[in-house]
Amino acid sequence: MQVLNQTITTTPAVTSQILVVDDEAPIRFALKEYLSTQGLAVSCAGEVAEAEAMLPLHDYSVAIVDLHLTGNCGFEGLEVISAIRAGYPRTRIVLLSANISPETGQTARDLGVDVLLHKPMPLSGVAQIVFELIQLHPVSKEQS
């Protein structure tokens, strides 16, 4: 993943909660570190069940979900996306993967994914997308 020395200046007035779901620890770490420096509160999960267990904890503004969560090219990320859409319709979803076929992309959109991002993607680019989506999910009073 390419990292640019670019700072996003559209920091929200109140802290938005972001959920990163990826089975690769270095990617979770990089996204958490970078988005945290942008003023966001970031939680991470590496498995489907872990992500689903984390969903009730916060009113997540954006979830960034990897398509493959086991390392064997399954589409486990779609399970997470389905769980988010079923229980947390306000949360905006980014599907992040190095391998999104047109068919899979269409399935993801049908499930309610807001943005498809292809790896590799600069962290600053991911952050820019996240901030744009946050504008569609204002932080609730309970969070502020």
Partner 1 sequence: MTGVKTSFSLLDRILAPGGLTVVFQPIFALPGTAPKLHALDCRVRGPVGTNLEEPCVLAEYARHKRAESLVDRACLTTAMQTVSALLPASRLPIHLHVTTLGSDQDFAEFLLSLAEQSDISPTRLVVEVGEPEVPWDHAIFTASLQKLRACGVRLALSNFGNQSANYHLLLDCQPDFISLDRYLVNHSGSDHRRQVILDSLARLAARFEAEVIAEGVETEADLKALCQAGIRFAQGALLSQALVAQTLPAFVMQTDAVASTVI
Q: Which stretch binds partner 1 (CB under 8 A): 31-39, 48-56, 105-113, 126-134?
A: 48-56
Is there a contact between 115 and 42 (Cβ–Cβ < 8 Å)?
no
3-state secondary structure of 25: helix
Smallest distance from the beta carbon of 25 to partner 1, in angstroms?
6
Q: What are phi and psi of 99, to 5 degrees?
A: -140, 80
Q: Does 59 bind partner 1 (CB under 8 A)?
A: no
Q: Which of 9, 13, 56, 141 binds partner 1 (CB under 8 A)?
A: 56
The secondary structure of 38-87, three-state, reads CCCEEEEECCHHHHHHHHHHCCCCEEEEECCCCCCCCCHHHHHHHHHHHH
Determine if 49 is a binding residue for partner 1 (CB under 8 A): yes
Instruction: Report the C-alpha gap between 111 and 105 in whole angstroms.
Output: 10
In angstroms, the CA 19 to CA 40 distance is: 10
Q: Which of 39, 50, 107, 122 binds partner 1 (CB under 8 A)?
A: 50
Write the binding mask 85 to 124 for partner 1: x where contact by CB under 8 A, - elsewhere. Answer: -------------x--------------------xx----
Distance between CA atoms of 15 and 133, rounded to whole angstroms?
14
- The span of 5-13, 23-31, 100-108, 130-138 binding partner 1 (CB under 8 A) equals 23-31
Is 73 a binding residue for partner 1 by CB under 8 A? The answer is no
Residues that bind partner 1 (CB under 8 A): 1, 23-27, 43-50, 52-54, 56-57, 71, 98, 119-120
